[in-house]
Structure 1
Amino acid sequence: MTATQNSNTVETTAVAQQGNPVDVILRRLATRAMGLTGADIERIIREARLKARRGKRAITYEDIEEGIRGNRPPVPYNLRWRFAFHEAGHAVVHHALDLGPVRGLNIDTGQGGYNLVGFHVWATDTRDWYEHMLTMLMAGRAAENLMFKRVSSGSGGADDSDLARATRIAFDMERTLGFGSEHPLLYRPHRDPGAVLDRAPELAARVHARLEAALDRGATILRRRRPTFHALAKALFDAQAMDENAVLQILADGDLPP
């Protein structure tokens, strides 16, 4: 699953490279907490404070992190690998296409993986940008197919899923953004793309072709950057949550033209 944010956009000692130690810890906790609601976090902090009070000591960051981890069931070994490769696929392609920063990755949610990515606002709204977005969104599925020769339902199943968002973008490219292969100047919005696609098989074929092309582009990028892709997936499997600095260190090591 991909969370997004816009972006107007490591030591002679460990602290100098990564910044203020408190900032490092806060980034780690924020990455760990991806996928939790505000109510979840409030409850975890209350429980951590109660635990510290019973121990007659001050609350620590470790108490909060332990509370976050304890809020989630352990992810089975095989599923953890699938989550790691899926999210690494998104991150590698996002970075390769220079869409923006990768703020964090998390496979410790018990409900699938999460990645938080930003976008350079100066690069948005062109045809290339939308095609890059489709490629990034389909990259998790491409990663699963490359590594396991079969895909899970993790890319779909919900209105905010990778497939749902990619389908909406491809639909809008055909109907509202002026990039369609048929009547591109017509503005034809609709609140329910699924209903339109069910009634218009030719449109559905064009939208699907865009998604297939994006899937192939994502797979090509991951093959070209296989060492980086594998290294990031392994690091994410081990750590289960990685902040921006940890992700960037691996991605930057494998930089080459997309």
Structure 2
Amino acid sequence: MKDHVTYPATLLRSLALLALGKTGADIERLIRDIRRKARRSGCSITWDDLEAGLRAGQAPMSADLRKRAAIHEAGHALVYTLTGIAEVQSASIALHGVGLVKTVPNAHLPETEAWLMNNIASLLSGRVAEILVFHEPIAGAGGADESDLARATAMALAAETSLGFSKEQPLRYRSIAMGMHELTVDRELADRVNRRLECAETMAHDLIQAHRPALDEIASGLESVGILSGDEVRRIVRGSVGDSEKGEP
């Protein structure tokens, strides 16, 4: 019987990180190619073969961009955890600049206005963390309809037009398409949506500022290893919360 081989967690993490964004079919095809090359060379498949295959076509990030990506994703992971709006499954940054915080919504929470604002704050928290650390954000939080800024704006707009949370005519329902149209022509609606976004941004800022050591520790882990589990993120946040409580008079 062959001895069971246990691989170091850092090596397993590096492969998991490199595989981000790939489908099961992609991985299966990659393994077939690696096996074919190994048979031709008469060698066994090595860890380096797997890593090289996964790295193919990926341009590594610069040190500055890697640090920024780590801070951005750490901001998301921290605020999602502190608000309890969703449970973090993992936080990661990949070699080609893609960052991701995988979460599962806490479905037991009532979908109140406070719940909505916590969601918006969590979406904006990556950008907020960048501003706190670097004093300016990069464009990564926006630029697409599925971006952080787009999703946050859509939520703030829904609060004012379709969810009944507006201080102005809360019973008047408008569809998403109608609300988006009104957002471009109704200055008062645009101002109300923007105020919600600014309020959520302040919420995220205050939470991150109060738990800055946790932000730095999560970001440091992402920068050095590339991926943290949800349990590791929660351990860091619990330590930060415990330390802040000890410091209270």
TM-score by length of 2: 0.83
Give yes or no for contact 1:96–1:255 (8 Å, CA) kept in 2: no
Sort the Cα spacing of 1:208 and 1:45 in 2 relative to 1 into closer, same or farther, 3 A.
Answer: farther
Give structure 1 stretches of 5+ with no counterpart.
1-20
Task: Give the match for residue 167 of structure 2.
Answer: 181
The answer to whether the 8 A contact 1:31-1:105 is kept is no
- The corresponding residue for 1:4 is none
1:62-85 CA-partner distances (Å, limit 9, x unpaired): 644443233421101111111000
| CA offsets 1:123-148 (integer angstroms, 9 cap, x no match) | 15221111110010000110010001
1:133 is the counterpart of 2:133: no
- 1:143-222 aligned within 5 A: 143-191=129-177, 193-222=179-208
Distance 1:171 1:204 in 2: 8
Distance in 1 of aligned mates of 2:38 and 2:178: 50
Q: CA–CA distance in 2 between the matches of 1:252 and 1:64? A: 36
Aligned residue number for residue 113 of structure 1: 99
Deviation at 1:58, TM superposition (A): 5.8
From 212, 217, 229, give the equivalent of 2:215.
229
Query: In the TM superposition, what is the alpha-carbon distance from 1:196 to its structure 2 partner?
Result: 2.6
The 2-side partners of 1:52 and 1:209 are apart by 60
Matches of 2:93 and 2:67 in 1, distance apart? 9
Larger Rg: 2
User: Which residue identity does 2:61 align to in structure 1?
Assistant: V
Q: 1:52 offset after TM fit, Å?
A: 3.7
Q: Quick check: 1:44 aligned with 2:69?
A: no
Secondary structure at the counterpart of residue 121 of structure 1: coil
Cα 1:245/1:183, change in 2 over 3 Å: same
Change (3 A) 1:105 1:63: farther
Q: Does structure 1 retain, via aligned residues, the 8 Å contact 2:13–2:227? A: no
For structure 2, the 5+ residue unaligned runs are 1-5
Q: RMSD across aligned C-alpha pairs, in angstroms? A: 2.6
Shift of 1:112: 3.1
- TM-score using structure 1 length: 0.81
Corresponding letter in the other structure for 1:250? I
Q: Given the superposition, is the C-alpha separation of residues 46 and 96 from structure 1 closer, same or farther in structure 2, using an over 3 Å criterion?
A: same
State the distance in 1 between where 2:178 and 2:96 align. 30
The percent identity for this pair of structures is 37
Contact 1:32–1:241 (8 Å) recurs in 2: no
Contact 2:13-2:225 at 8 Å conserved across structures: no
Change (3 A) 1:124 1:48: farther
Secondary structure of 1:255's aligned partner? helix
Q: Secondary structure at the match of 2:101?
A: strand
* Residue equivalent to 1:89: 75
Preserved contact between residue 173 and residue 179 of structure 1 (Cα < 8 Å): yes
**Kept after mapping to 1: 8 A contact 2:90/2:230:** yes
Higher relative contact order (CA 8 A, sep 6+): 1
Distance in 2 between the 1:62 and 1:104 partners?
A: 25
Alignment match, 2:225:
239
- Give the direction of change, closer, same or farther, for the CA distance of 1:173–1:59 in structure 2 (3 Å limit): farther
